[in-house]
Amino acid sequence: MSLYKTLDISVLEELTAIVGDEYILVGADIAEEYTRDAWVPPGLPRYPEAVVFPVNAQEVAAIVRLANRRLFPVIPRGGGTGLSGGTVPVYGGVIIDLLRMNQIIKIDPNARYIITEPAVLTIDIQQEAAKYGLLYAGDPSSDDCFIGGNVATNAGGNRAVKYGVTAEQIYELEIVTPQGGIVNLGGRLKKNSTGYGLVKLIIGSEGTLGIVTRITLKLHRLPPIFTTSLAAFANFSDAAAAVSVILEDPLLDPISLEIIDQKTVAALARYCEDWRFSEQGGDTLIIQLEANQDAEQAEKQNKLAAIIRKAGGIHLLPDSEKVWQARREFGKAIQAESAVLGIEDVVVPVDELAGFSSQLFEIARAGGLEVRIAGHAGDGNVHIQILPGDTPEAEWESRFHNFTQQLHADVYSRGGRISGEHGIGVKRKQYFLERVDPVELELMKSVKKSFDPRGILNPGKIFDVV
Ligand SMILES: Cc1cc2nc3c(=O)[nH]c(=O)nc-3n(C[C@H](O)[C@H](O)[C@H](O)COP(=O)(O)OP(=O)(O)OC[C@H]3O[C@@H](n4cnc5c(N)ncnc54)[C@H](O)[C@@H]3O)c2cc1C
């Protein structure tokens, strides 16, 4: 039996009083997109009982206090690009769509920070910073994601190899707590040893410990020169082995270091109409370097080309924009090949990448499945699309399940984890429970219970408390 109460007319009236008539959806007005994020859960879609669009932290807090009083779940939603079902209304309740909280509040180019509301597109933050010659370093490959969602998932992306994941970009967060308080955590400080580092606890908590309503982000100087190289190899292991060599070189310090297997390169060449990803094909690295001067850039490029040659690859200097555009189409290009697929997001220590990838192809082959890979190789994080190949329909689920379990066993044996950046959500909950240290799980549950004693904030995600 559910702990939660179905919304009755008096709750709907109170919600309407908080956000206003125009900013609440119920019944048939609730679109199908509110049953999922970019991952579609199996089975029948689960609709929320209402969707509300608050305009500020005070309205969010009032909704959350009501949820505690009347015992219904609230689920924060950003751009809905998540890949783990983090916004799925597992127990019904109310989706808090943060869409109206979409303002950049302030940018200070001298002190190099920007303050935003949660529903600002991450690419808009990048563009706003660039107007001042500054760089916002967070760069997930999804054009529609919001900065609040990036905080909640601790999003990685293409530049984490040099600048770190979202956690490294954050100075300060304002959150609405699961009991409806409003608090600022962290500060615009280089260091801070003042009590527990709660800001880090909120980052990556997938909307289960607080609703992020304001974010202060660090900005970097925008380097004047960027170049993107491709390195094509005859096999994936050689490409993966070159990753550590490139990272260890003291001169190069790449911003991005991505890996794509040769079948994905071929799929991208078919999908991206006006351009072939790499004429030579092959298992491919994408390497982005930055520099302040032409001479520095030339020196870096020469060094990179020499490293790639020595590692057995071919160095190419393609049109940078087209490469990144193609990289962003990875998911769609593979979906065009196969409607049925699974997506995993494992992470291993970078020096384990080559060994892990050989094993990955072997597990897939032995299990009668195919894999396509595009990954943030410089972070040891690979996105694996698993395709049925010739698998009979009736066997797909069990083969996929066996594959995933063997994959996770190998990942853990190397000191890796199930998710590098997409998170656990609903999708990976069972696999997470199979692998997590029971003591660590108990600590996580205690944290959740102390933040959210009534269990109203995004329940059913990461783990179940009851
Ligand atoms: C094509 C594609 C490429 C992608 N590439 C990357 C990538 O390179 N790197 C990467 O890390 N991810 C990537 N993702 C996954 C996704 O874009 C990220 O997880 C992103 O951070 C989600 O942001 P969102 O605004 O869409 O959040 P949503 O999907 O709306 O929500 C994600 C989670 O965050 C919670 N949440 C959202 N907003 C808030 C808030 N303000 N306060 C508290 N909780 C909140 C939700 O409840 C949910 O649990 C990709 C997805 C797609 C579809």
For residue range 106-151, list pLDDT tens digits in order.
Answer: 999 999 999 999 999 999 999 999 999 999 999 998 999 999 999 9
CB 84 near ligand 1, within 6 Å: no
**Mean pLDDT (the chain, rounded):** 95
Q: Mutate which of 100, 141, 203, 429 to test ligand 1's pocket (most atoms within 8 Å of Cβ)?
A: 141
* 329 in contact with ligand 1, CB cutoff 6 A: no
Q: Whose CA is nearest to atom 37 of ligand 1?
A: 149
Instruction: Convert the pLDDT of each residue in 391-422 to its tens digit.
Output: 999 999 999 999 999 999 999 999 999 999 99
Give DSSP secondary structure letters for 274-294. T--S-TT-SEEEEEEEEESSH
Q: Which atom of ligand 1 is nearest to the CA of 331?
A: 1
Average pLDDT over residues 76-87: 98
Q: Is 282 in the pocket of ligand 1 (CB under 6 A)?
A: no
Phi first, then psi, for residue 165 (nearest 5°) are: -80, -175
Query: What is the atom index within ligand 1 of the atom nearest the CA of 458?
Result: 47
pLDDT at 87: 98
Burial environment of residue 65 by CB neighbours within 10 A (0 to 12, 13 to 18, 19 or more):
middle
Task: Give the integer Cα–Cα distance in Å for 461 and 464.
Answer: 7
Distance CA 51, CA 273 (A): 39
Pocket test for ligand 1, best of 39, 56, 81, 141 (most atoms within 8 A of CB): 81
Other C-beta atoms within 10 Å of 239: how many? 28
Q: How far is the CA of 56 from the centre of ligand 1 (A)?
A: 20
Mean predicted confidence (pLDDT) in 9-27: 98
pLDDT computed for residue 326 by the predictor: 86
Residue 316 has what pLDDT? 85
Check residue 100 and give its pLDDT.
Answer: 98
Rounded CA-CA distance 109/221 in Å is 9
In the structure, what pLDDT confidence band is assigned to residue 274 with cuts at 50, 70 and 90? low
> Does 334 contact ligand 1 (Cβ within 6 A)?
no
pLDDT above 70: residue 279: no
Query: What's the pLDDT at 131?
Result: 97
Atom nearest to 38 CA in ligand 1: 53
Q: Is the CB of 157 within 6 Å of ligand 1? A: yes
Q: Residue 32, class by beta-carbon neighbours within 10 Å (0-12 exposed, 13-18 middle, 19+ buried)? A: exposed
Any atom of ligand 1 within 6 Å of the Cβ of 117:
no
144 Cα to the center of ligand 1, angstroms: 9
146 is written with which tokens?
Answer: 């919001």
Residue 343 has pLDDT above 60, yes or no: yes
The whole-number pLDDT of residue 309 equals 96
Q: Over range 56-81, report the average pLDDT.
A: 98
Q: Which tokens belong to 175?
A: 């959150």
- Indicate if the alpha-carbon torsion angle 30, 31, 36, 40 is positive or negative: positive
- Burial (CB count within 10 angstroms: exposed 0-12, middle 13-18, buried 19+), residue 156: buried
The stretch 365-380 carries a mean pLDDT of: 95
Does the CB atom of residue 166 touch ligand 1 within 6 A?
no
Indicate whether residue 208 lines ligand 1 (CB < 6 A). no
Residues whose CB falls within 8 Å of the CB of residue 387, separated by 6 or more in sequence, listed in order: 334, 337, 338, 340, 341, 369, 370, 371, 372
User: Is the CB–ligand 1 distance for residue 383 below 6 Å?
Assistant: no
Which residues have C-beta within 8 Å of that of residue 350, sequence separation ≥ 6? 243, 244, 247, 377, 378, 379, 380
Q: Can you give the pLDDT at residue 320?
A: 84
The two tokens of residue 20 are: 């206003």
Q: How many CB atoms lie within 10 A of CB 226?
A: 15
Q: What pLDDT score does 104 carry?
A: 98
pTM: 0.96
- Tens-digit pLDDT profile for residues 147-191: 999 999 999 989 999 999 999 999 999 999 999 999 999 999 999
Q: Which domains are assigned to the chain?
A: 9-100 (3.30.43.10), 104-221 (3.30.465.10), 225-413 (3.40.462.10)
* 20 CA distance to ligand 1 middle (Å): 27
Of ligand 1's atoms, which has the minimum distance to the CA of residue 210?
A: 43
Q: What is the pLDDT of residues 427-464, one digit of tens each?
A: 999 999 999 999 999 999 999 999 999 999 999 999 99
What spacing in Å lies between the alpha carbon of 65 and ligand 1's midpoint?
Answer: 25
Whether 341 has a pLDDT exceeding 90, the answer reads: no
Q: Is the CB of 174 under 6 A from ligand 1?
A: no
Q: Where are the alpha helices (DSSP H) in 338-392?
A: 353-366
Give pLDDT, residue 270: 87
What is the rounded CA–CA span in Å between residue 394 and residue 368? Answer: 13
pLDDT score, position 278: 62
Q: What is the mean pLDDT of residues 311-321?
A: 87
**pLDDT for residue 277:** 63
Q: Give the whole-angstrom CA distance, residue 81 versus residue 44.
A: 20
Residue 76's contacts (CB-CB under 8 Å, 6 or more residues apart) are 87, 95, 96, 98, 148, 152, 207, 211, 212, 457, 458
Residue 193 pLDDT > 60: yes
Distance 385 CA to ligand 1 centre (A): 18
Q: Is residue 353 predicted with pLDDT exceeding 80?
A: yes
What residues form DSSP beta bridges with 216?
Answer: 115, 172
Express as a percent the part of the chain with pLDDT over 90.
Answer: 88
SS3 string, 12-43, reads HHHHHHHHCHHHEEEHHHCCHHHHCCCCCCCC
Q: For ligand 1, what atom is nearest to the CA of residue 330?
A: 1
Q: What integer pLDDT is reported at residue 318 of this predicted model?
A: 80
